[in-house]
């Protein structure tokens, strides 16, 4: 997968996580899976998340 596509996916996932965390009726399982995917992308891009 090209780096640009990975960065685009990372941005979309991060935005979605932020939106879902603000929602009162957020699905915790979905949120957990999105965070796992975000962490995987950060590792692949060799970026350390704080």
**Residue 22, pLDDT score:** 92
Task: Look at residue 48 and tell me whether its pLDDT is greater than 80.
Answer: no
Residue whose pair of structure tokens reads 């640009």 in the numeric block: 4
Query: Structural domain tally of the chain?
Result: 1
What does the pLDDT look like over 14-33, one tens digit per residue?
Answer: 999 999 999 888 899 999 99
Residue 22 lies in a domain: yes
Percent of the chain with pLDDT over 70: 88
Q: What is the pLDDT of residue 12?
A: 95
| 50, part of any domain | no
The domain containing residue 40 runs over which residues?
Answer: 3-44
20 CB-near residues (< 8 Å, 6+ apart): 26, 27, 30, 31, 34
């Amino acid at each position: 997968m090209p780096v640009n596509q990975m960065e685009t996916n990372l941005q979309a996932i991060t935005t979605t996580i932020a939106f879902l965390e603000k929602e009162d009726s957020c699905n915790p399982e979905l949120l957990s899976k999105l965070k796992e995917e975000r962490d995987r992308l950060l590792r692949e891009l060799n970026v350390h998340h704080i």
